[in-house]
Amino acid sequence: MLPEVVYSSTVTAVGALVADFREQGLLVWFGENAPEELHEFSILHKVDNHKRAPIVGDIIALNDDHFTVLAVGDVASDNLLNLGHLDLKANGLTETEMPGDVNVEARELPTVKVGDRLQVIAQD
């Protein structure tokens, strides 16, 4: 059986401070309807498939860069499905520090630009 894409979106804007956050291992995502005060440090994206949010073991794909999901906070799924909000942390931790976090392996996150794709690929 082929892996199923359970969530996908396209980047529509990248805030001026996103590169600074990326250097710290964090990408903050919000849906296009996010308040203006969040735009500066956020990646805005338009969702085209939201069957479900990521779970441990899934793959998060940012274009050709793939990251294994290690931990999902208590409110991360609702945040992503309802607000398009995702705090993606490349810290290698198997427990989240904050309830909205989604942790992946500790390695450099890619530079994100308008038109890039975010996908969650089920591994079950």
- Tens digit of pLDDT for each residue in 72-112? 999 999 999 999 999 999 999 999 999 999 999 999 999 99
Active site annotation includes 45: yes
Q: Exactly one of 39, 45, 50, 85 is catalytic; name it.
A: 45
Q: What's the CATH number for 5-121?
A: 2.40.33.40
- 58: left (phi > 0), else alpha (psi -120 to 50), else beta? beta
Q: Longest C-alpha distance within the chain, in Å?
A: 43
The 10s digit of each residue's pLDDT in 22-67 is 999 999 999 999 999 999 999 999 999 999 999 999 999 999 999 9
